[in-house]
Structure 1
Amino acid sequence: MTYPALHMIIDGAPVSGGGRRTHQVVNPATGEMLGALPLADAADLDRALETAARGFRLWRDSTPHQRAAVLQGAARLMMERQEELARIATLEQGKPLAETRVEVLMNVGLFNFYAGETFRLYGRTLVRPAGQRSTISKEPVGPVAAFAPWNFPLGNPGRKLGAPIAAGCSVILKAAEETPASALGVLQCLLDAGLPKEVAQAVFGVPDEVSRHLLGSPIIRKLSFTGSTAVGKHLAKLAAEDCKRTTMEMGGHGPVLVFDDVDVDRVLDTMVPGKYRNAGQVCVSPTRFIVQEDVFERFRDGFAERAARIVVGDGLDAATQMGPMANPRRPDAMERLIGDATAKGATLHTGGERVGNRGFFYKPSVLSEIPLDADIMNEEPFGPVALINPYAGEEAMIAEANRLPYGLAAYAWTPDAKRQRRLAREIESGMLGINTTMIGGADSPFGGVKWSGHGSEDGPEGVEACLVTKAVHEG
């Protein structure tokens, strides 16, 4: 397929050329340039803000039927365009086609769910003496600045666009410059489904310039961010200057507690594919495997054997099980982190090196007996590496799971029902999967605690995050 021409979308029109700076979009499987992305200047951002202000005045008065029709229509178009969208995302980001096809389906499910939520934005009436009336209503918060990363090039823009539109807000989307055509494809489905052109804009640019400009404007009433903890903290400070509402989905370092009462092979059959999904470039990726001593060696050896068999290659190849990393920064980070760990005494069982001399491929890797002062045990690796350490029992395992300031996703494997309830109470995370890696869904809130952020996307909570509460009292 031909990679599409790149542009921004402001007031429904494609914006490109005009002497603007550009960013080279690269295919991570080959390292070759796919296209030149125009970057916004201050005038572009001002026009996007002015359009978003008009779009909010228009869309806040739309009916639930109008919002639902747009979301359902966009879902139908994404299904019709599934293969095109999936191939664009694989070209830009690298993950296998099987995974980008699932991303399209994620958006379809989310948009259809949000279409239903437009009819459920309930308020309430309080009991008052005769002649008095008090009502509580939900109103759209206002124009939203939404920042989406590159690791889910279709799913992240879908989350950022779907909730504000369902709530009656306008939105300015700044998706990742590495994966622009995917985000543009999702927005185009909404526009083609009848979304007024003023309601959603897509801009790209130098991230710090764009964020300071948008968040410095009083037009923006809310920030929705997905990305690293360091960047999230910076943006939260900018948003705080104007008391803007925030939804922050930031980094993680997913602990996986494996107890000695499990079927080891069953756990491995689930967790190994889960670890290397999207080459480990997943905020909820299972990363720190906290394994009870009695099953540690079996688990470690079985994990390494399965990891070594994973087929690494171009995501467009049907035989590929793991694609390249998304950009040249990620293999560099793997080499630094794994090198530091082995220098401090960790054992490397498989991987630990690049694949070939073309693109950004890195082997699925397994480390064990990693000292806690190794950088990789404290810094989110965001790559295809599993960290496996032995622990004596439940108390020590829970302590290790909670040791870091991150709290996005956690996992645990045990058939013991009482232990499951203890873990549900004690593990500090926004999401916990017990005997499963399935921790998300269109109807389920997605978000973290501690340094992993606050607020939720998806589910009713995702729309609620784009609403404000108003109390009106009549005497």
Structure 2
Amino acid sequence: MAYNYPELCLVIGETRITAEQRQTRPVIDPATGQVIAELPIATEADIRAAAEAAALAYQDWRRTSSHQRQAILRAAAAKLRERREELAWTITTEQGKPLAEARGEIDASAETLEWFADEARRAYGRIIPSRFPGHRQLVEIEPVGPVAAFAPWNFPLINGLRKVAPALAAGCTVVLKPAEETPGATMIAVECLREAGLPAGVLNVLYGEPAQISDALIKAPEIRKVSFTGSVSVGQSLAALAGRHGKRATMELGGHAPVIILDDVDVDQVATLAAAGKFRNAGQVCNGATRFYVQRGIYDRFLAGFAERAGRVVVGDGRVDGTQMGPLANDRRVTAMEGFVADARKRGGGVIGGERIGNVGNFFQPTILHDLDPAAEAYHVEPFGPLALVAPFDSEEEALARANDSNVGLSSFVFTESARRQRRMIDGIQAGLVGVNTFQVAFPETPFGGIKESGFGHEGGAEGLEPYLAKKFVHIAG
């Protein structure tokens, strides 16, 4: 069933600014290349007004009880579920992923709202025994203040809500800038939160020129916390800007995840899991697997099995039944894939797949690069697309050295049936997330974050609420 794409607008306090009131940019369906909506672009005055609206609403929202905040977030989660099919169609239409994957994103988003709704009531201060008779020493917690949040396009709904949910649960207000390519899902989420009772100004939404918005918001005196998910280069620039202005920051900056496959596994089973994990969301997953290191004794069998399964992935419009992989979200990713493949061929590497599909939409074949020169571009730049690298190794030490040979460290994966080998791999891997015999490492109740240039801070889990809380020490004498 098709739905109407939501009306797009800037949300600033009680004001909604539509495309008729501002300059616009088109929103493109990645499967057809057609324009599906016009997006209003925020002015400097709009950005300033959004920061001021968040600051004004913060005065009341910070005093709203955790019980009330919990009730609003839980009600919003229920409303997301009520609109599940409409939301799934919207996500697929603007981003490309198959409807089944979009539904999974909605379910995880609702669970994220529920997790942080309840976590708001588990945020405690503490009493510290005093060294002085009759004195009391307390650590109180309070919200850090208005938040500037920046979310990317690969998961249009949950990327924003993983920032909004803990911020609202903690008592912070938010100015959210989602990706301009995928604004529709956010519009529906805003409606769900408003219908659940969220006051005006607590969540504001801006679209426009990303550099202009991020620069103005981070510099705005009203903003006290920054949260960003995106590329390493942009994240480092925003973190530096936040530091210059004394703003707290959480940075989730992507990865280039290695997969170590040892020779005691069921090769066919791992090849099946690898294809499903690698080509989910057309490989546009920051913690998704990209570099597959396979012990030499099973290397040929794994490569053949992986390639066979990649070749069977059904690529097409995500709204069509039976589609297993949709288009890339924008044409920039298609150009990037073509560049990685051309570089691999130039260096004499093996290429399985590697071609654009058709001349309408951003479709690209599930692709495997193998036996590749270690200097190849794809080894050193996150592909962020349906492209996997496969290489053999001999010893565990070699596998760890190659896995850790990266400037990023978000996620890593290990496949082995030996408990001792698992322990050695876990101890040796340099990453914030480790999956053992699974590619699933992200849940609402677990911390999500990386090391090295993958950023700092966590989203999800009990750790996800902490960046939005400030601690205040109180010493009462007598």
- Interval containing the TM-score (normalised by the shorter chain): over 0.9
Q: Does 1:212 align with 2:229?
A: no
User: Secondary structure of 1:118's match?
Assistant: helix
Per the TM alignment, residue 449 of structure 1 is displaced from its structure 2 partner at its CA by 0.6
Per the TM alignment, residue 287 of structure 1 is displaced from its structure 2 partner at its CA by 0.5
**Aligned equivalent of 2:249:** 246
Q: State the TM-score, normalizing by the size of structure 1.
A: 0.99
In structure 1, what residue type is equivalent to 2:308? E
How do 1:404-419 and structure 2 match up within 5 A? 404-419=406-421
**Aligned equivalent of 1:6:** 8
Of 273, 276, 280, the match for 2:279? 276
**Aligned equivalent of 2:398:** 396
Distance in 2 (alpha carbons) for counterparts of 1:189 and 1:5: 14
Per the TM alignment, residue 130 of structure 1 is displaced from its structure 2 partner at its CA by 2.4
Conservation of the 8 A alpha-carbon contact between 2:19 and 2:38: no
Deviations 1:21-75, CA, capped at 9 Å, x for gaps: 2111000000000011001001111110110001111111110111100110000
Distance in 1 (alpha carbons) for counterparts of 2:263 and 2:71: 51
User: Secondary structure of 1:257's match?
Assistant: strand
Distance in 2 (alpha carbons) for counterparts of 1:375 and 1:165: 41
Of 181, 184, 189, the match for 2:184? 181
Distance in 1 (alpha carbons) for counterparts of 2:21 and 2:60: 32
Deviations 1:352-396, CA, capped at 9 Å, x for gaps: 011111000000001101111000000000000110000111000
Distance in 2 (alpha carbons) for counterparts of 1:339 and 1:245: 41
**Aligned equivalent of 2:161:** 158
Distance in 1 (alpha carbons) for counterparts of 2:215 and 2:430: 32
**Aligned equivalent of 2:133:** 130
**Aligned equivalent of 2:434:** 432
- Percentage of identical aligned residues: 47
**Aligned equivalent of 1:261:** 264
How do 1:31-430 and structure 2 match up within 5 A? 31-128=33-130, 129-349=132-352, 351-430=353-432
In structure 1, what residue type is equivalent to 2:38? A
Alignment: residue pair count: 474
**Aligned equivalent of 1:26:** 28
Per the TM alignment, residue 420 of structure 1 is displaced from its structure 2 partner at its CA by 1.1
Conservation of the 8 A alpha-carbon contact between 2:120 and 2:170: yes
Q: State the TM-score, normalizing by the size of structure 2.
A: 0.98
In structure 2, what residue type is equivalent to 1:66? Q
Distance in 2 (alpha carbons) for counterparts of 1:429 and 1:13: 43
In structure 2, runs of 5+ residues without a counterpart are none
Deviations 1:410-440, CA, capped at 9 Å, x for gaps: 1000011111112222111110000011111
Distance in 2 (alpha carbons) for counterparts of 1:78 and 1:18: 28
Distance in 1 (alpha carbons) for counterparts of 2:98 and 2:305: 24
User: Secondary structure of 1:438's match?
Assistant: coil
Change (3 A) 1:19 1:82: closer
Distance in 2 (alpha carbons) for counterparts of 1:62 and 1:315: 41
Conservation of the 8 A alpha-carbon contact between 1:157 and 1:186: no
User: Secondary structure of 2:392's match?
Assistant: strand
Distance in 1 (alpha carbons) for counterparts of 2:210 and 2:310: 35
User: Secondary structure of 2:300's match?
Assistant: helix
Per the TM alignment, residue 19 of structure 1 is displaced from its structure 2 partner at its CA by 5.0
Per the TM alignment, residue 13 of structure 1 is displaced from its structure 2 partner at its CA by 2.9
Distance in 1 (alpha carbons) for counterparts of 2:475 and 2:284: 50
Deviations 1:77-114, CA, capped at 9 Å, x for gaps: 00100001110010000000000101110011111111
**Aligned equivalent of 1:458:** 460
Distance in 2 (alpha carbons) for counterparts of 1:404 and 1:442: 27
User: Secondary structure of 2:465's match?
Assistant: helix
Distance in 1 (alpha carbons) for counterparts of 2:222 and 2:232: 25
Alignment root-mean-square deviation, CA: 0.9
Conservation of the 8 A alpha-carbon contact between 2:6 and 2:188: no
Distance in 2 (alpha carbons) for counterparts of 1:203 and 1:136: 36
User: Secondary structure of 2:426's match?
Assistant: helix
Moved more, 340-349 or 166-175: 340-349
Deviations 1:443-467, CA, capped at 9 Å, x for gaps: 1001111110010001111111111
In structure 1, runs of 5+ residues without a counterpart are none
Conservation of the 8 A alpha-carbon contact between 1:12 and 1:201: no
Distance in 1 (alpha carbons) for counterparts of 2:292 and 2:127: 50
Conservation of the 8 A alpha-carbon contact between 2:8 and 2:19: no
Distance in 1 (alpha carbons) for counterparts of 2:302 and 2:243: 46
Per the TM alignment, residue 304 of structure 1 is displaced from its structure 2 partner at its CA by 0.5
